[in-house]
Structure 1
């Protein structure tokens, strides 16, 4: 089974795991609504950490890097339903319904949504899309479900309009602070540039000014230095830290570690 499965391409996803805990890095370009059907999900950014249990609903703000830790339940099942609130659709809703931002949103960017009959009923109505994956469901039907989800979010928490409908362009943010908080997340350099409000060329130029190094070289050295610290000082096992530090496999981590320090991680 593919994981996750696209129910409506780019809009509604169903994720199912039966293996042991899985950790992944993710870039979320759009606001996202997640229902925890079974198991546990830990969602962590540089400023927030949230753990979802069965039945929890999480709204995730757009343009974020995050570490996801997926843990099956005691019965061995992990399931989520994920709905992408694409900005193009949110802009259309704002125009059609003349929604205006009255003030800057100052609440948490990621938040657990209070469960009520409306939200529970909404996700129950999405279940048939998941159960009948082989049937062709057109995008128009999918967008109707997304619109409904947006309206129910605003009904539950009206202040969310200032989060969902904020289309302002992000200004350049503090590059040093951002990179020191997120260096361990395994995403392309282009995503780091986007999230700091820069073009790729401007990001590389500013990065070199701040760190006196190219981004890829600095990221690798920073991750390996942190790995050595965790192994030597915190007595962590290489197999327990390589994913958290942005390496895709233990073998890749071990090779690059040996190349930099002259020893394998297990020899430190």
Structure 2
């Protein structure tokens, strides 16, 4: 077994991964509430990184870039229950709730709830349903998601400002966004979406600002970051090539030597 996902509804799943590691760079369309059963996950955002282990529970906000690296640990697979808090369901929930909240805008931090007993009880109660054949009753799924949202609101009084952010990304400062997020190996279409632009407008604005193509600029910036990690932080090439935006170590080594005239290991 390598990577397996078992859905009981489109919004509730159990993921299991039993290989060396699994890496993805993504922007989640919906908020994701995650409970780790086993394994370890490193999540890297532009401003900070997080390390989560078995038992941890956390919320990943929607529409923010992140590099996610999942590892098996201590002979156990990487295993997690994931609940999607969709915009439609959150709108339905808040339509019947009287509360005062202040939207948090584009807050990107990940919210950690450690091993909170109420959230753990809610998410652990889903485990038996993954073993039952046949469709999962939608009314039960709805109750479970409503329970999770209610618990989040109970243990974090500021969470309403995150969960009620229903806006799509608007047009923002392209230079500032790219300087902050170049290490994420995303498609140009996705970079365009997150900066409020079509692909053609993104490419046009990018060339106007940086006087080069997005791909050339991204490669150069990622290699600069790699050089810094190797030279100043004394990290190993194999430990950082994915974190700076490369998928393949051979390609990383080739591009690094082309830009700096030496292989990455020469800096260690």
Shift of residue 202, structure 1, vs aligned partner = 2.5
Q: CA deviation at 1:173?
A: 2.8
1:11 aligns to what? 11
RMSD: 3.0
- Alignment-derived partner of residue 199 in structure 2: 200
Q: Counterparts in 2 of 1:1-268, with a 5 A limit? A: 1=1, 3-8=3-8, 10-95=10-95, 97=96, 102-105=101-104, 109-113=109-113, 115-132=115-132, 135-137=134-136, 141-231=140-230, 235-258=234-257, 260=259, 264-265=263-264
Q: 1:113 to 1:237 in 2, by over 3 A?
A: closer
Alignment partners' CA distance in 2, 1:246 and 1:231: 15
Counterparts in 2 of 1:204 and 1:141: CA distance versus 1, 3 Å? farther
Inter-partner Cα distance in structure 2 for 1:103 and 1:260? 47
How many Å apart are 1:110 and its aligned residue? 1.8
Equivalent residues of 2:2, 2:17 under 8 A apart: no
User: Structure 2 CA distance, aligned partners of 1:238 and 1:199?
Assistant: 35
**Do the aligned partners of 1:23 and 1:69 also contact (CA within 8 Å) in 2?**
yes
Task: Quote the offset at 1:219 in angstroms.
Answer: 1.0
Give the 3 Å change call, closer, same or farther, for CA 55–217 of structure 1 in structure 2. Answer: same
Q: Deviations over 1:18-59 (max 9, x none)?
A: 333544322222111011212322222113433223222101
What's the TM-score once normalised by structure 1's chain length?
A: 0.83
Q: Distance in 2 between matches of 1:229 and 1:258?
A: 15
CA separation of 1:12/1:2 partners in 2, compared to 1, >3 Å: closer, same or farther?
Answer: farther
Gaps of 5+ in 2: none
Q: Is the 8 A contact 2:103 2:164 kept in 1?
A: no
Distance 1:114 1:99 in 2: 28
Q: How many pairs are equivalent?
A: 266
Provide the C-alpha distance between the structure 2 equivalents of 1:51 and 1:237, rounded to a whole number of angstroms.
19
User: Aligned in 2, Cα 1:111/1:9: closer, same or farther, shift over 3 Å?
Assistant: same
Counterpart Cα distance in 1 of 2:39 and 2:235: 26
Q: Give the TM-score taking structure 2 as reference length.
A: 0.83
Conserved 8 A contact 1:7-1:129: no
Gaps of 5+ in 1: none
Distance 1:181 1:207 in 2: 14
Q: Specify whether residues 190 and 18 from structure 1 end up closer, same or farther in structure 2 by C-alpha distance, changes over 3 A only.
A: same
1:19·1:76 contact (CA, 8 Å) conserved in 2? no
Cα distance in 1 for residues equivalent to 2:21 and 2:98: 41
8 Å CA contact 2:30–2:84 kept in 1: the answer is: yes
Encode CA deviations 1:70-123: one digit per residue, 9 max, x unaligned. Answer: 23332433221111111122223333x155663233877421126554322211
Query: Residues 38 and 78 of structure 2 are in contact (CA less than 8 Å); yes or no, is this contact kept in structure 1?
Result: yes
In 1, are the aligned partners of 2:34 and 2:83 still within 8 Å (CA)?
Answer: yes
